[in-house]
Structure 1
């Protein structure tokens, strides 16, 4: 009889924290509590409220209260003022593992992350046809999907029996944006992001962006997908608002 205990990694996940310049001291208790309940923290985009570097600096300071590894991706709000490079620099200096088509292994779990992009879902997914601007929009979604697939592929190739988690901002499935107006579904995510999740056997994917979407869904191949936008977690009664997933 094998008495070897399998290690359980507790993953805390939240998106859309929208840190403001006036938030100094507002997040210390939150990050301290996360550190007590989890082994890794995922931040699923929209880390800043308006894409200001000063907001990222506030977040970096607040994260000093977090004693566990932090894995993150940027969101559309973090791109608002075209300061994404400086935001990335500030948070990387604060030891945040900020992913953009790359990966990080913590314990026996591999995390691959991209921001993702829109384009719609299933039969409503926008095709690469027509005006150059439409093609550019679709190409962005394709590129994000390829970056995610590449990151997951590297994890598969370098590690045996790795447990893989995807970190996104935009949704890979329709189910977790349900609740939002259907007219804006094409801007909340893309089914193209689900393709690498299914192909690579990912255990779960976490995203945000859709503030009034649905907490949980799954891909066509049964990969669990969680919309951990902070407003959704608050609506569902999570207090403090973070979702715990055990691997």
Structure 2
């Protein structure tokens, strides 16, 4: 892949699109089209998990003239209509990933929503009540989905860089600023293991609105919390973050 050109990635999460947001993202998506090669949307595309909100976002995305890839977030699951939201948003130019992967400009993108569970030595364990075991099992399942998606990229495109798209965080670093009491609901270190082992080039997530923009995992693997409130806290003008890989 010595001839590979760098790719400019624009990323944002937690748009929380509402029914009265028609036209709110048009100018932003037009600007992103001029500045980046691909847009990543890291979950919570809708505010209340309603397909009507998804339809508003689908209309806004008509102003985007580059490929877009995303994952759903917890808000998109609120009403149990996540399948309808996926159907509403999936177009030839926007792909929603849930354990799948896609290649754009010689760069592989793998995405899952992720889940909670806590970080490092404060991770919840699969012990005790069935409800607690089910909670931790969901984190395990999401980690396995992510690992399989990254493994497929490794097998089919061994020489290209890999980028992960999540909603929940794989590290406590990017959720710092949130109350420590809710850390177990903001992400899980279980997501970090496949990211490090599969040598991902960068990770993008949202969800932690009061968190930090940048963090890292082992071997200086960059992790970016691109939740919209975080971007607005760290940036004065743009509602998206650009990284070149």
Which of 20, 26, 29 aligns to 1:28? It is 26
User: How far does residue 35 in structure 1 lie from its aligned partner after superposition?
Assistant: 0.5
Q: Distance in 2 between matches of 1:106 and 1:149?
A: 19
User: How far does residue 93 in structure 1 lie from its aligned partner after superposition?
Assistant: 3.5
Q: Distance in 1 between matches of 2:210 and 2:158?
A: 38
Match of 1:107?
Answer: 105
Which of 67, 70, 89 aligns to 2:68? It is 70
TM-score normalized with structure 2 length: 0.97
Determine whether 1:131 maps to 2:129.
yes
Runs of 4+ in structure 1 displaced over 2 angstroms? none
User: How far does residue 96 in structure 1 lie from its aligned partner after superposition?
Assistant: 1.4
Q: Is the 8 A contact 1:112 1:167 kept in 2?
A: yes
User: How far does residue 5 in structure 1 lie from its aligned partner after superposition?
Assistant: 6.0
Q: Is the 8 A contact 1:117 1:189 kept in 2?
A: yes
User: How far does residue 98 in structure 1 lie from its aligned partner after superposition?
Assistant: 0.3
User: What is the 5 A alignment of 1:1-247?
Assistant: 6-93=4-91, 95-247=93-245
Look up the SS of the partner of 2:61 in the other structure: helix
RMSD of Structure 2 on Structure 1 (CA): 1.1
User: How far does residue 31 in structure 1 lie from its aligned partner after superposition?
Assistant: 0.4
Q: Is the 8 A contact 1:145 1:192 kept in 2?
A: yes
Q: Which whole-Å deviations, capped at 9, do the CAs of 1:141-162 have from their partners, x for residues lacking one?
A: 0000000000000000001311
Q: How many residues align?
A: 244
User: Structure 1 residues 180 and 170 mapped into 2: Cα distance closer, same or farther (>3 Å)?
Assistant: same
Q: Distance in 2 between matches of 1:64 and 1:79?
A: 24
Q: Which whole-Å deviations, capped at 9, do the CAs of 1:97-132 have from their partners, x for residues lacking one?
A: 100001000011000000000000000000101111
Q: Is the 8 A contact 1:170 1:208 kept in 2?
A: yes
Q: Distance in 1 between matches of 2:68 and 2:7?
A: 14
Q: Which whole-Å deviations, capped at 9, do the CAs of 1:1-30 have from their partners, x for residues lacking one?
A: xxx764110000000011111011111101
User: How far does residue 55 in structure 1 lie from its aligned partner after superposition?
Assistant: 0.2
In the alignment, structure 2 segments of 5+ residues that lack a partner are none
User: Structure 1 residues 169 and 238 mapped into 2: Cα distance closer, same or farther (>3 Å)?
Assistant: farther
User: Structure 1 residues 201 and 238 mapped into 2: Cα distance closer, same or farther (>3 Å)?
Assistant: farther
Look up the SS of the partner of 1:221 in the other structure: helix
Q: Distance in 2 between matches of 1:58 and 1:94?
A: 17
Look up the SS of the partner of 1:21 in the other structure: coil
Q: Is the 8 A contact 2:66 2:93 kept in 1?
A: no
Q: Is the 8 A contact 1:60 1:94 kept in 2?
A: no
Q: Distance in 1 between matches of 2:91 and 2:150?
A: 25
TM-score normalized with structure 1 length: 0.97
Q: Is the 8 A contact 1:32 1:66 kept in 2?
A: yes
